A and B are shown apart, each in its own frame.
Chain A
Amino acid sequence: MSKKYLMSRKAITKVQAAIIAVVIIVAVVVAAYVLWPRPPPGPIMTVTMTYHAPDPAEMKVAEIMKSELMKIGIELDVRGMEWDAQWDLAKADPTKAQHIFVMYWWPTILSGYDFLVNMFHTEPEIFFNLGYYYNSEFDNLIDTAYSLEATDPDGSIELYRDAQEMLIEDCPAIFFYDVMNTHVIREAVRGYVDNPAYPHVTLCYDLRPPAGETTFRRAEPAVIVTDLDPSSQFSNEIVIICGNMYETLTWVTPDGEIVGQLAESWTVSEDGLTWDFKLRKGVKFHDGTPMDSTAVAESFERTRRMGMGAAFIWACVDEIVTFEEDPYLVRFKLAFPAPLDRIAAASYAAWVFSPKVSEVGDDDAIHEWFNGPPPGGIFAGDPPYDMGTGPYYLAEHVPGHHVVLKRFNDYWRGWEDGPYYDTIYVEYVEEAATREEGILGEVYDFTYLLPMEDLKSIDENPVAKVPAIPSFQNLLGFFNLKRPPTDNALVRKAIAYATPYQKIIDEVLMGYGVQSKGPVPAGLFGYVEDLFQYTQDLDKARDLLREAGYTPPPSAMAIAGSLAYTELLIPCFHVMACLVKREWEYTPT
């Protein structure tokens, strides 16, 4: 007899069925309430942090932060996102944005001002001030300091010091570390000098190939070309543009000295408002046009007009004047004093390009032309496909794959002191293992962004070397000042005191970096040697949290609690609970 047949013999009345149903429901509800896991004594708050997912260093920093903050009872919810995604999140609505935004910064203008103004100056529309730090006193300090740089450096430094001390006190960001350049270059290639002012850039003109080789092969970890318009480009194409395809008026040497490139010499007036640059004669653009003051003026005017990329560096310039009598003299009239010689050496937005582009049309048309594929656009016809003065011109571009530069024979420095590289081949190789294998197998001559763990053995390998030098690049974690709980300065300071700075240097950077002293890296104007540095002090962090009104648990209890919760979390309940009460946005608990 099947069970179903047996059961069907007993008749159940409607009332009985209803009672059974109610009893079952009540039983389930009671059981669920009793058995439903609660977070054990643990998170006193939840803080969200985003980082750039493809970057293993940032990911490791996030992981370490998560485990350290857990010890003082803060649950850190880390999310790896693509750069644009996390940037959009921050730019949208501050009250819903992430609490901590992890970001690398490196300067365009080689002054501490670049760090301070871009990341902490009040902005009506958020760009890089990702902590939403609005402090007009701070703004005044740094603006004044910048205007005094060229004429009163000591006074300028004092103001920078005051400004940075304000940042330490208000704690709008965690200053993690200043990272070293960890470029890997083949031993056989001579003449390579790491220049912190232009990171990741290889000046192929200065390199000397080993005997029998003419092509410089470079493996690039990120997509090479996003924008080929010299006025607006602000991305990774710098590695082919800077110093190879395009040039600037002035240049910063690895020792920090400012020397002339397209300009021979320059003078500045007493009040710092008038700069005269004498241009070099005999310089030709890749299309054959000779360079003169009109070309320079038009290049910079266009960059200023378009206002894209790093055009902000020209904010100080009121007027650019050229003279009919002297086609090699350019005068800059500034609205306020600023170190124009340093600005003109910037790694973006300071390129000089041929005035012939104006024949294409207006600025937008030219922009499309620079980036456009054939039949129109910059790739129409034969190379060169750029309008610069540099020693190499763009000969081939396979989007998403590689770029080929070839030697420009009319380069103003000449090609007498050889041997030189004739061709530069830059390939987009995303895989770190391929790049590592390639450089050790001498398939590539240069690469970077290899796993930190392997750098030491690569350096010891006779085939390659890692000339690690301090760079001007640092990692910061911006606090969201508009969203609780990070809107509370005590909470921010607590997190700053909980950050394991040395552990990060040792475990993540493997020693290839130092803890930051404020937002300005060592070696830049504006760096303050004796600025206060946070160090890891969990007790101090807890005190601050108590002051803010929370009750943080001691480390052991926090760890045990987290472990119990995570163990329980991993099977069904957390998942089911989350599915039932979908959380579509971050909410602090």
Chain B
Amino acid sequence: MGIHTYVAKRIALSALVILGTITVTFFLSRMVPSDPAALWAGQHPTIEEVRKARVMLGLDQPLHVQYFSYLTKLMQGDLGVSIRFKRGILGDLFFYLPATLELIIAGFIIALAIGIPLGVISAVKENKIIDHLTRTVAIAGASIPVFWLGIVFQIIFFGMLGILPLTGRVSSEIVITNPIKRITGFYLIDSLVTSNWPAFTSALVHLLLPAIVIATYPLGLCVRMVRASMIEVLRENYIRAARASGIPERTIIFRYALKNAIVPAFTAIGLSFAYSITGAFLVEFIFSWGGVGSYITYAIATIDYPVIVGVTLFVCVFYVAINLILDVLQAVVDPRVKY
């Protein structure tokens, strides 16, 4: 088929899927049993105001007309306006996005830093005690309720030991005394760049617990994938040949085996990055993180349907995009993939 056709086909398919998700979320949101026009018009709307709001929101049109106008607006990048805050959704989304990204990336780094070595050890010492232990840890990572783990950590490190903060991205004192200048929205980067050391320390300390909590699922997945992959690779003939020719075990493992083992594990690990977004919602809820997760949970609680649709859409596009990138990357890198 050729790589170009493959990529084109995948992009077309992804676009179709995105269109489908738009449709599903749009019609879902219209099923919400409350009157968005009345919500928009505010606390004590008169009939006239509600009617005005209905026209302004386009709710007096038949459903398919609303759908098409929504689509056209999307093409222009307009996600709509939040009913509660009367502000543009896309703008707010980008405002809250760095917080979430900072959290997910930090968690991911932790997951990879611990997961890959653990997976390798587990594969090398297959079926020994350490393998069983690691397998258990990996499964635990996938089974542990993220919301519970966060609370337990809060109880231990905040309630009992008192060494880590409970919620927030940065302590209140820092906001007053050394406010972080917003450049990228990533508190760690912004405070580093402006040499704001107290803020940097505070942001790091606040990031610790939520990042560890978010890392548990990818950690488990990473360990399992790397282990399975490594086991397969270690059985290969060329590894046996390398051993026979006297190359030290450590070099074999890390130079030859790991390189080849990473690639198949790659896709799954990449997917878990996308999956972390949903974990981020719960973690943000518990730690009052102020990212996209907090934004959407507040919107769901206050039935702010444009926000719900907008954020769901955004997350789906993100998901689909990551899937697409991973598929293409794997097609390019892995010769076994047929296209």
The answer to whether B84 touches A429 (Cβ under 8 A) is no
* A residues less than 8 Å from B298 (CB atoms): 223, 400
Q: State which residues 287-301 of B face A: CB under 8 Å.
A: 288, 290, 294-295, 298, 301
Q: Does A433 contact B (CB under 8 A)?
A: yes
Q: Does B87 contact A (CB under 8 A)?
A: yes
Q: Which of B129-137, B168-176, B237-245, B330-338 contacts A (4 or more CB under 8 A)?
A: B168-176
Q: Does A82 contact B (CB under 8 A)?
A: yes
Q: Does A253 contact B (CB under 8 A)?
A: no
C-alpha spacing A431/B167, complex, angstroms: 8
**Nearest chain-A residue to B155 (Cβ)?**
A433
The answer to whether A91 touches B38 (Cβ under 8 A) is yes
**Nearest chain-A residue to B165 (Cβ)?**
A434
C-alpha spacing A425/B174, complex, angstroms: 12
Cβ-defined partner of B172 (8 Å) among A54, A88, A217: A217
CB distance from A227 to the nearest CB of B (A): 8
C-alpha spacing A217/B175, complex, angstroms: 11
**Nearest chain-B residue to A233 (Cβ)?**
B43
CB distance from A583 to the nearest CB of B (A): 14
* B residues less than 8 Å from A444 (CB atoms): 172
CB distance from B74 to the nearest CB of A (A): 22
The answer to whether B172 touches A425 (Cβ under 8 A) is yes
Cβ-defined partner of B288 (8 Å) among A84, A423, A429, A438: A429
CB distance from B287 to the nearest CB of A (A): 9
* A residues less than 8 Å from B44 (CB atoms): 127, 234, 307-309, 311-312
Beyond A84-B303, A429-B167, A437-B166, is A423–B42 a contact (Cβ under 8 Å)?
A: no
Q: Does A288 contact B (CB under 8 A)?
A: no
Residues 369-388 of chain A: 1 if any B CB is under 8 Å from the residue's CB, otherwise 0? 00101000000000000000
Q: Does A318 contact B (CB under 8 A)?
A: no
* A residues less than 8 Å from B90 (CB atoms): none
The answer to whether B166 touches A88 (Cβ under 8 A) is no
CB distance from A453 to the nearest CB of B (A): 15
Q: State which residues 32-63 of B face A: CB under 8 Å.
A: 33-35, 38-39, 42-47
Give the bracket for the number of chain B residues in contact with chain A.
35 or more
Q: Does B85 contact A (CB under 8 A)?
A: yes
The answer to whether B176 touches A217 (Cβ under 8 A) is yes
* A residues less than 8 Å from B84 (CB atoms): 226
C-alpha spacing A443/B158, complex, angstroms: 15
* A residues less than 8 Å from B173 (CB atoms): 443
Interface centre among A89, A312, A437 (most CB of B within 10 A): A437
C-alpha spacing A438/B46, complex, angstroms: 43
Beyond A309-B43, A438-B172, is A400–B294 a contact (Cβ under 8 Å)?
A: yes
Cβ-defined partner of A88 (8 Å) among B35, B43, B159: B35
The answer to whether B166 touches A125 (Cβ under 8 A) is no
C-alpha spacing A368/B81, complex, angstroms: 13
Q: Does B143 contact A (CB under 8 A)?
A: no
* A residues less than 8 Å from B290 (CB atoms): 400-401
Q: Does A292 contact B (CB under 8 A)?
A: no
CB distance from A328 to the nearest CB of B (A): 32
Q: Does A232 contact B (CB under 8 A)?
A: yes
Q: Does A402 contact B (CB under 8 A)?
A: yes
Q: Does A430 contact B (CB under 8 A)?
A: yes
Q: Does B86 contact A (CB under 8 A)?
A: yes
Q: Does B201 contact A (CB under 8 A)?
A: no
Q: Does B302 contact A (CB under 8 A)?
A: yes
C-alpha spacing A373/B159, complex, angstroms: 39
**Nearest chain-A residue to B88 (Cβ)?**
A373
C-alpha spacing A533/B321, complex, angstroms: 64
C-alpha spacing A85/B47, complex, angstroms: 19
* B residues less than 8 Å from A423 (CB atoms): 176
The answer to whether B302 touches A125 (Cβ under 8 A) is no
Beyond A82-B301, A434-B168, is A399–B85 a contact (Cβ under 8 Å)?
A: yes
Q: Does A265 contact B (CB under 8 A)?
A: no
C-alpha spacing A140/B334, complex, angstroms: 83
**Nearest chain-B residue to A373 (Cβ)?**
B87
**Nearest chain-A residue to B177 (Cβ)?**
A215
* A residues less than 8 Å from B158 (CB atoms): 433, 437
The answer to whether B43 touches A434 (Cβ under 8 A) is no
**Nearest chain-A residue to B295 (Cβ)?**
A400
CB distance from B170 to the nearest CB of A (A): 10
The answer to whether B303 touches A85 (Cβ under 8 A) is yes
Q: State which residues 154-195 of B face A: CB under 8 Å.
A: 154, 158-159, 166-168, 171-173, 175-176
C-alpha spacing A431/B45, complex, angstroms: 32
Q: Does A194 contact B (CB under 8 A)?
A: no
Q: State which residues 208-222 of A face B: CB under 8 Å.
A: 215, 217, 219
**Nearest chain-B residue to A585 (Cβ)?**
B33
Q: Does A149 contact B (CB under 8 A)?
A: no
**Nearest chain-A residue to B304 (Cβ)?**
A84
* B residues less than 8 Å from A371 (CB atoms): 86
Beyond A82-B303, A309-B43, is A425–B175 a contact (Cβ under 8 Å)?
A: yes
C-alpha spacing A429/B165, complex, angstroms: 13
The answer to whether B176 touches A431 (Cβ under 8 A) is no
Q: Does A237 contact B (CB under 8 A)?
A: no
**Nearest chain-A residue to B48 (Cβ)?**
A307
* B residues less than 8 Å from A443 (CB atoms): 171-173
CB distance from B333 to the nearest CB of A (A): 42
* B residues less than 8 Å from A430 (CB atoms): 167, 288
* B residues less than 8 Å from A84 (CB atoms): 34, 39, 302-303
C-alpha spacing A227/B41, complex, angstroms: 12
Beyond A85-B303, A430-B288, A431-B288, is A402–B166 a contact (Cβ under 8 Å)?
A: no
The answer to whether A425 touches B167 (Cβ under 8 A) is no
CB distance from A484 to the nearest CB of B (A): 22
Beyond A308-B44, A309-B43, A425-B176, is A434–B302 a contact (Cβ under 8 Å)?
A: no
Q: State which residues 299-328 of A face B: CB under 8 Å.
A: 307-309, 311-312
The answer to whether A308 touches B288 (Cβ under 8 A) is no
* A residues less than 8 Å from B43 (CB atoms): 232, 234-235, 308-309
CB distance from B37 to the nearest CB of A (A): 11
**Nearest chain-B residue to A431 (Cβ)?**
B167
The answer to whether A215 touches B38 (Cβ under 8 A) is no
Q: Does A58 contact B (CB under 8 A)?
A: no
**Nearest chain-A residue to B41 (Cβ)?**
A308
The answer to whether A88 touches B176 (Cβ under 8 A) is no
* B residues less than 8 Å from A125 (CB atoms): 47
* B residues less than 8 Å from A82 (CB atoms): 301-303
C-alpha spacing A308/B42, complex, angstroms: 8
CB distance from B305 to the nearest CB of A (A): 11
* B residues less than 8 Å from A227 (CB atoms): 42
CB distance from A90 to the nearest CB of B (A): 11
C-alpha spacing A294/B301, complex, angstroms: 43
C-alpha spacing A235/B84, complex, angstroms: 12
Residues 13-35 of chain B: 1 if any A CB is under 8 Å from the residue's CB, otherwise 0? 00000000000000000000111
* B residues less than 8 Å from A85 (CB atoms): 34, 303
C-alpha spacing A399/B290, complex, angstroms: 10
CB distance from B163 to the nearest CB of A (A): 13
C-alpha spacing A402/B166, complex, angstroms: 17
Q: State which residues 72-127 of B face A: CB under 8 Å.
A: 84-87, 92
Q: Given A84-B39, A431-B167, output 7 extra A-B contacts at Cβ < 8 Å.
A: A53-B301, A125-B47, A308-B42, A371-B86, A429-B167, A430-B167, A438-B172
Binding site for B on A (CB under 8 A): 53-54, 82, 84-85, 88-89, 91-92, 125, 127, 215, 217, 219, 223, 226-227, 232, 234-235, 307-309, 311-312, 368, 371, 373, 399-402, 423, 425, 427, 429-431, 433-434, 437-438, 443-444
Q: Return 25 A-B CB contacts under 8 Å, by A number.
A: A82-B302, A82-B303, A84-B34, A84-B302, A85-B34, A85-B303, A89-B34, A91-B38, A223-B298, A232-B42, A232-B43, A307-B46, A308-B43, A309-B43, A309-B44, A371-B86, A429-B288, A430-B167, A430-B288, A431-B166, A431-B288, A433-B166, A434-B168, A443-B172, A443-B173
The 7 closest A-B pairs by CB, nearest first: A88-B34, A434-B166, A82-B301, A434-B167, A234-B43, A431-B167, A430-B288
